[in-house]
Amino acid sequence: MKKLSKKFFSQDPAKVAKNLLGCILVRKLNKKVISGKIVETEAYYGLKDPASRAYKGKTKVSENMWESAGTILIYMVHNQWLFNIVTGKKGKPQAVLIRAVEPISGIKFMKRKRKIPRLCSGEVKKLASGPGKFTCAFGIIKEKYHGLNITKTKDLLIIPRKENFKIASSKRIGVARDLSQNLRFYIKDNQFVSR
């Protein structure tokens, strides 16, 4: 299987965020495969962006944003792990946040991770419909992936996929001081985006 290249991530974060929609995120563990389609993303501009962790300069949390494209940045907010991928050139802090995925395989695993004992069929859409829920469902934790490069990891990868859909955009969610432009992107009319 072909996965996304470093070149893919070396572009403007808003562009990467849009191109990431519809791609398949895969996590392999043991003999199980957990996968889902990316349906919602947000772009973050480091230095000019008050909502970015890099806004106030390098800290222990944000230092990975200065690494090269494809580096995985995970940090915790409100007891949730948020999963970011660094984009652009090395030394220029920018990133894309994965906000929601549509579960494809490993749904049992996700349910167990999310600790939803009796999940009605209609509630699969809530399994990974949010940045914290998605990392939880995929079992992604900071100790394992923080600082790695997603173009190199063998058990975590993103596969490109062509598909026809409309991309919608909006203001980012939960951001105290947002920029004037729309930096949240999602697949229009998809049931698995947050809210």
Partner DNA sequence: AGGAAGATCTACT
Partner DNA sequence: GTAGATCTTCCTA
Interaction with DNA in 1-40: which residues (CB under 7 A)? none
Cβ proximity to DNA, 28 vs 149, nearer residue: 149
Interaction with DNA in 74-113: which residues (CB under 7 A)? 76-80, 82-84, 95, 97
Cβ proximity to DNA, 31 vs 129, nearer residue: 129
Cβ proximity to DNA, 27 vs 53, nearer residue: 53
Cβ distance 58 to 66 under 8 Å? yes
Cβ distance 35 to 24 under 8 Å? yes
Task: Give the shortest CB-84-to-DNA separation in angstroms.
Answer: 4
Pair of tokens at residue 78:
């409100």
Cβ proximity to DNA, 163 vs 189, nearer residue: 189
Identify which of 35, 12, 31, 14 has the alpha carbon closest to the alpha carbon of residue 23.
35
**Residue located via tokens 């390098």:** 58
Q: Pick from 3, 20, 131, 140 the residue near DNA by CB under 7 A.
A: 131
CA distance 120 to 130: 18
CA distance 149 to 6: 9
Q: Which stretch binds DNA (CB under 7 A): 5-13, 27-35, 127-135, 182-190?
A: 127-135
Size of the site for DNA (CB under 7 A): 33
Cα-based angle 189, 162, 92 (whole degrees, multiple of 5): 90
Cβ proximity to DNA, 61 vs 168, nearer residue: 61
The DSSP secondary structure of 51-65, one letter per residue, reads TSTTTT---TTTGGG
Q: Binding mask 166-185 vs DNA (x if CB under 7 A, - otherwise)?
A: ------xxxxx---------
Cβ proximity to DNA, 118 vs 154, nearer residue: 118
Q: Give the H or E element holding residue 73.
A: strand 72-77
Interaction with DNA in 141-160: which residues (CB under 7 A)? none
Q: What's the burial of 129, exposed, middle or buried (CB within 10 Å: 0-12/13-18/19+)?
A: buried
Cβ distance 186 to 40 under 8 Å? yes
56 touching DNA, by CB under 7 A: yes
Residues that bind DNA (CB under 7 A): 42, 44, 51-53, 56, 59-61, 76-80, 82-84, 95, 97, 114, 126, 130-134, 172-176, 194-195
